[in-house]
Amino acid sequence: MDEEEKKRVVLDASVFFADLPVTGECYTTPDVVGEVKTQAARMRLALLEEQGLRVHAPGPAARAEVTVAARKSGDVTVLSETDTGILALAAELNAAVMTDDFAVQNTAQRMGIPVIPILQRRAKKRKWSYRCTGCGRFWSGPGECRICGADIRRAQSGKKY
């Protein structure tokens, strides 16, 4: 990541649970703040706010952009509203996103948003599909197969059972 990308970083909730240094112009969303519940994480949030952390809600256009990208990657059913918010804010601010969530990383990569892993390895870019565990047919989302009644689960595209 070059110096320009390091200037702005959108923080996922997991940043507040890890004791790692965070540099640059930091942002997060109100939804992330709502997920920070433990005393230690709240203290870290307060410290980062004192150091200039800004809390912003992204607009609906950026959220819609994330939803389109998540549909293309197959991550739309596993991204939470909070996940969508941090990706949307990163898109609006032309910022990197700091997270260990693989679905967030995968969608960010599809959108061209730089990713900074916290404690985990960087996720590989993947395309997900939904496949019946019984008959093997592909579907548009998870649930129960209308053909054989087995579970439909998210699977890496091209991966066979």
Burial string for 47-68 (b: 16+ CB within 10 Å, else e) reads ebeeeebebeebeeebbebbbe
Q: What residues pair up with 129 in beta bridges, in sequence order?
A: 155
User: DSSP class of residue 123?
Assistant: P
Query: Has this prediction a pTM greater than 0.85?
Result: no
pLDDT tens track for 82-99: 999 999 999 999 999 999
Name the pLDDT band for 20 (thresholds 50, 70, 90). confident
Residue 73 confidence (pLDDT) above 90: no
Q: Is the pLDDT of residue 80 over 80?
A: yes
The full DSSP string for 107-119 is HHHHHT--EE-SS
The CATH label, of 3.30.450.20, 3.30.2130.10, 3.40.600.10, 3.40.50.1010, for the domain at 3-116 is: 3.40.50.1010
The domain segmentation of the chain, as residue ranges, is: 3-116, 127-161
Residue 143 gets which letter from DSSP?
A: E
Paired with 155 in beta bridges are 129
